[in-house]
Homo-oligomer: A and B are copies of this chain.
């Protein structure tokens, strides 16, 4: 089969590799119908994630059809069209049992992290993929859900919802600020609607992204390049700050922006992947009764979000701005890697 293979920092190729095979009784093999690219793939390609070694097939998102099942698989069958969760979870360990699938103690992957596709094992930017712990890690796709809709449920929509909206404890009537209007920020903007906020304020430096945020459900937008950006946000509250501030960039500056916006009693939910420590002004914050959350997605809401997508309650296909076939995956990387230039959000790569 062909796959997108990492060749070391700066190197990738769409090349012929051996087909995957069942290794454990709980595995299935999936023929991929669609995949996409995540910012993390770009980080790996830059060499920022040294655990990933040359020869690894990248990608942790996608959908496909099951072509083979292991001997221990009883609830899935050949021909099932499924979404692959970006997190592989055994469903049995002490972490899985409490819903912390992101930290599955799976002995196959890296100890204690459920994200292994395109990282510790071969990923989804390929014609075929071996899926470990398949019965806990894939989701049959109901009638009427398109490839473009389904592929966004592998990672980005659950991430915005679980790590942004749920960890941020958004509740009816809340004013929510989302710092960063890229794909994951917009997934938080869209899914925040599931808890009835009074306002969702998108904050970014790029007016084009802010304009797009309106279509994803933002009630208000603020360009943080303006000197009075903070006053603009506070003017949309009762003056005390937002109830929930969601960080969806991953820099010390944007994290501090989120912390500075939140009201006493409010929540800061960090989604961003950070490369550096941040300074936390506990000397001012200790008295403010806020909390700060962070984490890797568990995808335990994937099935629920899929139900809403099937009911057309979440216009998730808006995320896909560009489409490519597998043979043009390198071009897809170019577009996604220069997203601003192409006004790209998510790219769909399909058969």
With an 8 A cutoff between CB atoms, is A325 at the interface? no
The answer for the CA separation of A70 and B308 in the assembled complex, in Å, is 38
A286 touches B274 (CB 8 A): yes
Contact A100:B265 (CB < 8 A) given known A273-B286, A296-B289: yes
Interface-located stretch among A14-22, A120-128, A181-189, A195-203: A195-203
Question: Interface size of A by Cβ–Cβ distance < 8 Å?
Answer: 77
Q: Residue on B with the closest CB to A274? A: B282
The contact string, 1 if C-beta is below 8 Å from chain B, for chain A 272-288, is: 11111111111101111
The reply to whether A199 and B274 form a contact with Cβ atoms under 8 Å apart is no
The residue of chain B having its C-beta at the shortest distance from the C-beta of A252 within the complex is B282
* Inter-subunit contact A91/B136 (CB<8 Å): yes
A243 to B280, CA, bound (A): 22
Q: How many copies does the complex hold?
A: 4
Contact A283 B277 (CB under 8 A): yes
Minimum C-beta distance from A287 to chain B (A)? 5
- Asked if A265 and B195 make an inter-chain contact with CB atoms under 8 angstroms apart, the answer reads no
Residues in A lying within 8 Å of B, measured CB to CB: 24-26, 70-72, 74-75, 90-95, 97-98, 100, 102-103, 107, 112-113, 135-136, 167, 172-173, 193-196, 198-199, 219, 238, 240, 250, 252, 255, 264-265, 270, 272-283, 285-296, 298, 300-301, 303-305, 307-308, 310-311, 313
> CA separation between A25 and B135, bound complex, in Å?
14
For A293, list chain B residues within 8 Å (CB): 290-292
Measured in the bound complex, the distance between the Cα atoms of B103 and A290 in whole Å is 12
The 3 closest A-B pairs by CB, nearest first: A72-B72, A194-B196, A289-B295
For the complex, give the distance between the alpha carbons of A172 and B307 in Å.
Answer: 10
Contact status of A25 and B71, CB under 8 A, knowing A288-B294, A289-B295: yes
